Amino acid sequence: MKNLYKAADAPKKDDLALRVYTSRLLGQEEDLVLHGGGNTSVKTTVKDFFGNYVDVLCVKGSGWDLATIEKPGFPAVRMDTLLKLAELDTLSDADMVEQQRLGLLDPAAPNPSIEAIVHAVIPAKFVDHTHADAVLALTNNPDGNKHVAQCYGDSMIVVPYVMPGFVLAKAVQKAIEGKDLSKVDGLILMNHGIFTFDDDAKKSYDLMIKKVTEAEKYIAKHLPKASKKKAKLQKNLLGLAALRKAVSKSRGTACIAKLSTSKAAADFATVDNLSNLCKRGPVTPDHTIRTKRLPLYLAASGDADKAVEKYGKDYTKYFDKHAKGESILDLAPRWAGWADHGVVSFGATEKEANIIADIADHSVATIIQTEKAFGSWKALPAKDLFEIEYWELEQAKVKKGGSNKPQHQGKIALVTGAAAGIGFACAEQLALAGATVVGVDLNPEIVETMASIGALGLVANLTDDKAIKKIVETTVETYGGLDILVSNAGIFTAGAYLEDLEQQNWDKSFAVNLTSHQKLLRETIPFLKHGIDPAIVLVGSRNVNAPGAGAASYSCAKAGLNQLCRVAALELAPQGVRCNIIHPDAVFDTKLWTPENLKRSAERYGLTVEEYKTRNLLKTEIKSADVGRMVTAMASPLFGKTTGAQIPVDGGNDRII
């Protein structure tokens, strides 16, 4: 474990600033803490509202992450309040939270960590707590106590596992009572993590790095010689999409599925006892709130629906056995060990999926390391893990965001021709509605353009079969499936009457405006059949129903696209895949329409530019965002009972009506 402390960067003569600095150093190391895990504190003296000096504990606040924490993330709690709470024999979670809040100097501050009383009873000025992977490997095996003793000797005080919060505070208080803490380096909490402390921030941080490094070296001595042979994984993207659909159905909401094929994931997925490992439990109980107690096990050629159904039944039995009045959570797994394929993590949002993926990747690495070094991985009993998973304080963190969710949350959308104009508007509106978007365009700017809306941009020529196959596979590999296809890519070829129409003009229009869409459908349909409320929206044109002279190559290709939509609707309805087409007209806020072009066209009709832009029955201007919003609606349950339809967005065109 690398020591990142740099004296030149460390704040001087500011306890809280120094606390922030060393906390961030810990947070940078994923092998120490992940996504809000761990907590740190500093005991200091501050002035209250009346100018009186008050001894306080500035401890990590709920909702803050050590990697990015700032001063407001350390609410100041009166030390006398915390120490009085520590004297009690019993204290409910609700009372603990309430009393800690009453002890805050700032009533608007975040809730102090559930470990605040633990930090208070440790007399050192600076206290650091992490869930270091190496320490968990030491403790989470049948001979954990033996390995901890052999690794650390008398340098660490060992505390048997107890419930975090007030119970842990009492256990720590008892463990350190009468001890000369200057002669020890910290505490090992069995199956939980490690504490280090000192009156000097650097020394406390140094001790954390030192003790974790000692654990890493101890484990390394027990590991067999590493094999240079890399585990080989199978690739089954349709299987991944089917797994994602099964999990989404069980959870009751669309989920992102992140497939990891890292070395740790490959080692985990290819072990002979994978099924058994998936029944053991997490590396630390703190993860349970995000990952549930167990991952899903899926055999190499297993049926995803049956596996997820079995997981749900097993989870219900686990709940029924340990519940004491709680309401059961959803039955869906949060991650899976997929034999010979990798590790798959699921989240209702991409953020959640990424968090769980990080936890899963560290978990499998620690589990495999422990298996190799100490012969077996052993987690806490189900009863203890249930207490954490259904702990009201932790559940409150997860539910804090509320139940309202964006229309397309968890759905995966692929939008072509997305670098500008209508395509970009569709991608942007879908992203605003919560979808995870992949935008495709021939223009290299697509990468930066999509990044600006939090989407993935891919460069591809959509007339190239291999390129189409690659973007579809990349989408599924990255997010686990496909739910929405907006096939928008197109060109407007130069106008020419039939007798003067060059064959190249005709062929190019059909290649881009019709055939590329057919090729895209061919590659996406197998995945859309495994989609969540799957929908295809093709972007047509007013020219389908009201063609203009001199626009044969464009109008005929778009008419063919219209017919392609109808055929797709007929073919895909039995699988629940909807296909509709939108016909925009007079959308002038695109790169195609420069001010010069608009002025020239308006003059041709004897109109001003504003009159020309609103030359429809409703006398309204049609913008790209209007089309994007309609496409987003067409892909939603609002159009859930509509397929094969043609939807105009043109303000009313008298030639069509």
Tens of pLDDT, residue by residue over 646-655, are 999 999 999 9
Residue 151: is its pLDDT beyond 80? Answer: yes
> Which CATH number applies to 412-587+622-649?
3.40.50.720
Tokens of 619: 């006398």
Tell me what the pLDDT averaged over the chain comes to.
Answer: 95
Topology of the domain comprising 15-222? L-fuculose-1-phosphate Aldolase (3.40.225)
- Span 635-646, average pLDDT: 97
Catalytic residue among 21, 311, 479, 554: 554
Using alpha carbons, select from 349, 179, 165, 144 the residue that is nearest to residue 253: 349
**Residue boundaries of the structural domains of the chain:** 15-222, 237-379, 412-587+622-649
Beta strands in 351-487 (DSSP E): 412-416, 436-441, 456-459, 484-487
Mean pLDDT of 342-364: 96
Could you check whether 15-222 and 237-379 share the same CATH topology? yes
390-415: b or e for each residue (b if 16 or more CB lie within 10 Å)? Answer: bbebbbebeeeeeeeeebbbbbbbbb
Q: Please tell me the predicted confidence (pLDDT) of residue 34.
A: 86
Query: Is 205 one of the annotated active-site residues of the chain?
Result: no
Q: What pTM does this model have? A: 0.93
Task: Encode pLDDT of 439-493 as tens digits.
Answer: 999 999 999 999 999 999 999 999 999 999 999 999 999 999 999 999 999 988 8
Using 50, 70 and 90 to split pLDDT, how confident is the model at 394?
Answer: low
**How would CATH label the architecture of 237-379?**
3-Layer(aba) Sandwich (3.40)
Residue 393 clears pLDDT 80, i.e. is over it: no
In angstroms, how far is the first alpha carbon of the chain from the final one? Answer: 72
Q: Give the model's pLDDT for residue 494.
A: 78
Q: Could you tell me whether strands 436-441 and 456-459 are parallel, antiparallel, or unpaired per DSSP bridges? A: parallel
Q: What are the tens digits of pLDDT across the range 104-147?
A: 999 999 999 999 999 999 999 999 999 999 999 999 999 999 99
Q: Which residues pair with 649 in a beta bridge?
A: 584
How confident is the model over 43-53, as a mean pLDDT? 94
pLDDT confidence of residue 567: 98
List of E strands, 98-181: 126-130, 156-159
pLDDT-based confidence at residue 403 (cuts at 50, 70, 90)? low
The average pLDDT across 623-648 equals 97
CA distance 288 to 268: 19
Residue 66 to residue 7: CA distance in whole angstroms: 20
380 Cβ contact partners less than 8 Å away, ≥ 6 residues apart: 161, 191, 281, 285
